[in-house]
Amino acid sequence: MEKKLKRMATMHKLQVKGLELFYQNGYYNTSVDDILKSLSLSKGAFYYHFQSKEDFFISIIQSLIVRKVYSTLIEPIEGKENPFLVIDKCFENSLETAEHNEMDYGFILGNFLTEFNRRNETISKYLTDIYKVWEVNLVTILQKGKSDGFVDRHVDSEGVATYLISSYMGVRTLMVQGNCKNLKYNYLQQLRRYFNSLRLKETV
Amino acid sequence: MEKKLKRMATMHKLQVKGLELFYQNGYYNTSVDDILKSLSLSKGAFYYHFQSKEDFFISIIQSLIVRKVYSTLIEPIEGKENPFLVIDKCFENSLETAEHNEMDYGFILGNFLTEFNRRNETISKYLTDIYKVWEVNLVTILQKGKSDGFVDRHVDSEGVATYLISSYMGVRTLMVQGNCKNLKYNYLQQLRRYFNSLRLKETV
DNA sequence: TATTGCACAGACCAAGGGGTCTGTTATTTA
DNA sequence: TAAATAACAGACCCCTTGGTCTGTGCAATA
């Protein structure tokens, strides 16, 4: 029964290193050989476990990228109370992690969306699906925030979700260039200002 | 004297087609041969005018991309009066153009920033410089907006510029996936709401 | 008119790309 | 214990890559 374990271990090693290099250098700028070399594995190993480079990347999306986005951007928000507080905290944590990560190459989902947009429909589909779950999740918490008296009822939840995702993706792209600390600070300040405009005003 | 004209014409043809393909497929996923094939030109022609692929792309940045960003995002704003009106109109126009462009592959500056981030410092530098000019331009008009009584003096102009650029870059990335019309509408609605929170309130 | 040199054409090169195929070895299974 | 099979290793394939180099035609100059 240890064969299955070995299989899983090798596949997982390939996926983790693959994601690392794809994330750092981009998909088209990373060869299968690059991954194999840094793991001291052979072509035989790779094509025994995966049908193609594309198939390999799809498996990475499904097993690693989905999990990453869920754990950092979706689960911290799900089912919570005050949308403003929890989204604020979630974004702040994510930006904080990025800031102190020497190996930050941007928002993983955003980078790959950009790289595959209109260039590989199959992969784009998988990535877009993750984005959509994120969006639905934000819309849900905002709607709940209305019932709970946090969010102004006149606010368009979908619009807010779009605006939040857009700004987050953008600032993550900018942060790679450096000056992260300032960018993070500025971004969060304005995010809070924006949130204030959505808040349910006390009727005097 | 028609030799110099021919030289310019060929170089320009190469740059225009080069930008088109780099923009569509990405830099690393577009070969020099791809460009030459679609123009029925030879290697000789290319390497007579440009030292390398990288040198070629830098020339494209300096001659075409700079001009594009300037004409669509910088000049329409420069020296104008009401920041909110003019930025709103500028972004709306840009998104409108993108929406009705069948060949939209995203925000050109954002895409290349993502592709070269930390992967090619030389090229990144050229791209970042453009971004910085854009940012300075936004900050300037916001500051002027304070003196002119449009913008609340407590507002942090740099923060606002960061937030504006981030959200614009993000929404342009999302728009490639489709559903442009809705994304554009949602984005502009929230942008206006955000602007309202920056406006100088009449002291009652 | 002869000659120079610009603006290419296109063969060529080594390196690297994704992918195939035939071993080989250690572990299961019969 | 023998046979079967899973899990690789690595040579090999053909195509594409960025880049070089020699050749060539045509306009500019003398």
Round to a whole number and report the distance in Å from the CA of B95 to the C1' of D15: 40
Using one digit for the tens of pLDDT, what is the confidence trace for B139-159? 999 999 999 999 999 999 999
Residues whose CB falls within 8 Å of the CB of residue B198, separated by 6 or more in sequence, listed in order: A193, B84, B151, B152, B155, B160
Cross-chain Cβ contact A190/B158 below 8 Å:
no
Nearest residue on chain B to A170, alpha-carbon basis: B166
Look at domain A1-50 and name its CATH class. mainly alpha
Q: Using an 8 Å Cβ cutoff, are A160 and A142 in contact?
A: yes
Nearest residue on chain A to B196, alpha-carbon basis: A197
Report the Cα B115 to chain-centroid distance in Å: 14
Whether residue B202 is predicted with pLDDT greater than 70 in this model: the reply is: no
Cross-chain Cβ contact B186/A159 below 8 Å:
yes
Start and end residues for every CATH 1.10.357.10 domain found in chain A: 60-198
Average pLDDT, chain B: 96
Q: Which nucleotide's C1' atom has the smallest distance to the CA of A29?
A: C17
pLDDT of residue A203: 59
**Structure confidence at residue B5 as a pLDDT band (50, 70, 90):** confident
Round to a whole number and report the distance in Å from the CA of B33 to the C1' of C11: 15
pLDDT of residue B3: 66
| pLDDT tens series, chain A, 204 aa | 576 788 899 999 999 999 999 999 999 999 999 999 999 999 999 999 999 999 999 999 999 999 999 999 999 999 888 999 999 999 999 999 999 999 999 999 999 999 999 999 999 999 999 999 999 999 999 999 999 999 999 999 999 999 999 999 999 999 999 999 999 999 999 999 999 999 987 655
Q: Say which CATH topology domain B52-198 has.
A: Tetracycline Repressor; domain 2 (1.10.357)
Whether residue B1 is predicted with pLDDT greater than 60 in this model: the reply is: no
The minimum CA-CA distance between A202 and chain B, rounded to whole Å, is 17
Residues of A in contact with B106 (CB under 8 A): 114, 117
Q: Domain A60-198, what architecture?
A: Orthogonal Bundle (1.10)
pLDDT of residue B201: 79
- Asked if A202 CB < 7 A from strand C, the reply is no
- If you write DSSP's letter for every residue of A33-92 in order, what string do you get? HHHHHHHT--HHHHHHH-SSHHHHHHHHIIIIIHHHHIIIIITTTTT-S-HHHHHHHHHH
pLDDT of residue A147: 96
pLDDT of residue A5: 81
pLDDT of residue B200: 85
Start and end residues for every CATH 1.10.357.10 domain found in chain B: 52-198
Start and end residues for every CATH 1.10.10.60 domain found in chain A: 1-50
A160 touches chain B (CB under 8 A): yes
